[in-house]
Amino acid sequence: MTQVKNERSTSDLVKAAVSGWLGTALEFMDFQLYSLGAALVFHEIFFPEQSAAMALILAMGTYGAGYIARIVGAFFFGKMGDRIGRKKVLFITITMMGICTTLIGVLPTYAQIGIFAPVLLVTLRIIQGLGAGAEISGAGTMLAEYAPKGKRGIISSLVAMGTNCGTLSATAIWAAMFFFLDREELVAWGWRIPFLASVVVMIFAIWLRMNLKESPVFEQVNGEEATAQAADPETTLGAMFKSKSFWLATGLRFGQAGNSGLIQTFLAGYLVQTLLFNKSIPTDALMISSILGFISIPLLGWLSDKIGRRLPYIVLNISAIILAYPMLSIIVDNSYSPGVIMTSIIIIHNFAVLGLFALENITMAEMFGSRNRFTRMAISKEAGGLVAVGFGPLLAGIFCNMTGSWWPIAVMMVVYSVIGLISAILMPEVCDRDLSTLGDAAEDKAHVPGVNPRGNHSAIS
């Protein structure tokens, strides 16, 4: 493979980084806006005729509908991104996501139009999910293919920090809503403000992506290998399911995403609706945790550049397994002070969610070959997310309702972390792997863990 000829400047790298950060921020802003809305107020606005427990389950089910659409979007837009380029697809996905998030803020309620209100909500979640299914994978792919050798982890952590910015912004907005508005005002009109506010991020992100250059790795490989890629059977969906790299990446994603759905989505609703905790406890805890993530996420990205991707994954998953039961036993016990409960949420959130996500994008980008990186990364992310995040909170609600206890949350968290741990143990070390290589890492017999035999194929001049 020849050296990349389509050079990009440091300014181009900065644009790619900010673009990925903004797109991921918008995606996770929507994630947290909706998840907290579903947990705290949507059961009254869109499902008011149900019992409190059933309304929460239905709200979580609506949340899950978007994740079914995500896997369809991952396949459709992932294939498009590998065929026509990362830039064009990222422009489409950010537009779809942004418009749908904003439109949720103008939806009529159940009291106004009856059953059509939740139907419209589900429709927007599905369209939104189609775009989101390829957004973070496309941003991760683009930035990984821009970043220079030895700095991919720290640079790609900017995409992960976008999740932090989105989560923080959404949580802060909801916290402000609860602080400044009473319950009646919040249900009547206040819930719309967070979704309408997202339009600012959308406009800036769209403008930036219109001025973004294509990935240099895509341009090189597309130019040199176009004929081979079009005829190569390894680009088929069936070949993907036979790929060891695909299943290992899916396992890594499953572990992180499952814990995210439990902690950021279900636990907040469970504490407030079932255990009758003050709403500020989960929202403030997640907000503080997201602030701390601005330190922990780039630190882990930098560390993975120094010691590799596997070891941090293994340590974080083991830590999540050990901490799951003791942290949750404190979190659900209102005999502890709010400060102790919030600290426990922050600890488990950083170990089981943010820490793993700091490693996820660059690790998965390096695991896949250039001929189908976008597609396989997107589908592996969304396949794991579909079950773990899309249905995990719904199942947690059902299990907790059936048992009348919180322990199913701890069991599910341990199961998710064990799956992530096994995947991390079995994966090859992919740190600084040549991203212009066509094949996947686990199938690359010539690949030596931790070594980049073909040199760096980033294009920063």
What are φ and ψ of residue 7, in 5° steps?
Answer: -70, 150
Specify the pLDDT at position 270: 85
Query: CATH says 10-216+236-443 is which class?
Result: mainly alpha
Which of 201, 202, 180, 203 has the alpha carbon at shortest distance from 191?
180
pLDDT in the model for residue 415: 95
Note the pLDDT of residue 58.
Answer: 65
User: What pLDDT score does 320 carry?
Assistant: 96
How far apart, in whole angstroms, are the C-alpha atoms of residue 421 and residue 415?
Answer: 10
Q: What is the mean pLDDT of each run of 10 residues along the chain (461 residues)?
A: 55 81 80 74 72 63 70 90 89 88 88 82 85 86 88 87 80 82 83 85 83 83 54 64 92 92 84 82 86 92 96 97 94 90 94 93 93 91 79 85 90 95 96 89 61 41 36
Q: For residue 286, how many C-alpha atoms fall within 13 Å in the half-sphere facing its CB?
A: 33
Residues 6+ apart with CB under 8 A from 99: 202
How is residue 227 written in tokens? Answer: 């004929």
How far is CA 199 from each of CA 30, 94, 95, rounded to the nearest angstrom? 11, 11, 10
Q: At what angle do helices 355-367 and 116-146 cross, to 10 degrees?
A: 60
Q: Which residue has the tokens 């929202």?
A: 283
